[in-house]
């Protein structure tokens, strides 16, 4: 458990162990959320990655992606299709 003091301006210093745990650096922002009557502070970048992972969960299996090579090949295919579409529109 970490303790922080609130200044008259409502500011706090986030304890070093919490900053390390959330991978926070100078200038980073934090997001505050409520959940079950509790306030949770999170690194918004980590939160966005977590939400993206949850949103895409199961999609790899649906697309038949079983390896890193499968993902690389899919990216190449999509890039090729986008390139062809872009250049077809210019004709």
DSSP assignment of 12-71, as one string? -PPPHHHHHHTT--TT---EEEEETTEEEEE-HHHHHHHHHHHHHTTHHHHHT--SHHHH
45-74: pLDDT as tens digits:
989 988 988 888 888 888 888 888 988 999
Give the model's pLDDT for residue 15. Answer: 95
For residues 38 and 44, is the Cβ–Cβ distance under 8 A?
Answer: no
For residues 4 and 13, is the Cβ–Cβ distance under 8 A?
Answer: yes
Residue 76 CA to residue 78 CA, distance in Å, equals 6
What global pTM score does this model have?
A: 0.56
What is the second-level CATH architecture of the domain 1-57? Ribbon (2.10)
Domains in the chain: boundaries: 1-57, 65-91
């Amino acid at each position: 458990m970490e303790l922080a003091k609130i200044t008259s301006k409502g500011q706090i210093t986030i304890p070093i162990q919490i900053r390390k745990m959330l991978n926070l650096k100078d200038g980073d922002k934090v997001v505050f959320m409520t959940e079950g009557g509790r306030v949770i502070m999170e690194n918004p970048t980590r939160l966005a990655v977590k939400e993206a992972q949850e949103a895409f969960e199961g999609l790899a299996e649906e697309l038949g992606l079983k390896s890193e090579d499968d993902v690389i090949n899919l990216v190449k295919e999509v890039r090729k299709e986008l390139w062809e579409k872009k250049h077809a529109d210019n004709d």
